[in-house]
Amino acid sequence: MKEFGFLYDSSMVAPRSDPPLWPFTLDYRIPHRCHGSRQRCPSRSFPGTWEMIMNPFDIEGHICAMVDSCPTHLSEDEIYAMFMDNFNRHYNTNRAPFGLYFHTIWFKEKENFKILLRFIDDLMQNKDVFFVSNYQAIEWMRTPTPISQLKDFEPWKCKKDIEPNLIACNHPKSCKLASRQVKGERYLHTCFDCPDVYPWVKNEFGLEFK
């Protein structure tokens, strides 16, 4: 990631903690133990690379990093309460950014989307709560700005003119591509021409090297 110029990673799950963890850079040792049996944590310094740490949800003692890995037997009101309880754990303590992490399968249940919208609508009643991207959160941490000046905070302004190459197309191409890494074939959907092979680490453009 450092080699290819990524600003941040957002795949590291932290153990549940009170208060929650703020994002940090990988200039120094991570401020928590490496959590989980399959997680690989950095073993050396990567100056300037941010870790948008995943603070897990806590629902009735069940710890889950992804919303769709939380208990599935919950009612609509219980899911809403899960969102609010975990948000308040951030809001009422150190105000660490509250991340929401989903796999698309969670939205197959239409009621889940309605609950999420209800949660967002209720939070937006607070004048000191903002929904931002990871990049925007990092820019604020780099330059902490009071609420009274946020309307002039450049990284949080909405850009009306979007570059043509950043606009999603209505009919993407479906590319069936070979992958040496997974030893098989994978599909890639893109608005541009299909690459030679399936993009992978150190070959993000999917070039065929012969």
Taking only the tens place, the pLDDT of each residue in 154-190 is 999 987 777 877 788 889 999 999 888 888 899 999 9
Q: What is the pLDDT of residue 108?
A: 92
**Separation of CA 25 from chain center:** 16
pLDDT at 68 over 80: yes
Of the listed ranges 17-26, 84-93, 125-134, 167-176, the least confidently predicted one is 167-176
Q: What is the pLDDT of residue 34?
A: 87
Supply the mean pLDDT for the chain.
91
Whole-model pTM above 0.85? no
pLDDT at 2 over 80: no
Q: What is the pLDDT of residue 209?
A: 76
* Segments in the chain forming alpha helices (H): 76-91, 110-123, 134-142
**DSSP symbol at 203:** B
pLDDT at 210 over 70: no
Q: What is the pLDDT of residue 100?
A: 95
Mean pLDDT of 115-123: 97
> How far is the CA of 112 from the CAs of 62, 78, 108, 166, 196, in angstroms?
19, 11, 8, 29, 39
Q: What is the sign of the dihedral through the CA atoms of 120, 77, 16 and 87? A: positive
Mean pLDDT of 110-115: 95
Q: Are 20 and 93 in contact (CB under 8 A)?
A: yes
Q: What is the pLDDT of residue 80?
A: 97
Q: What is the pLDDT of residue 3?
A: 77
Q: What is the pLDDT of residue 37?
A: 64
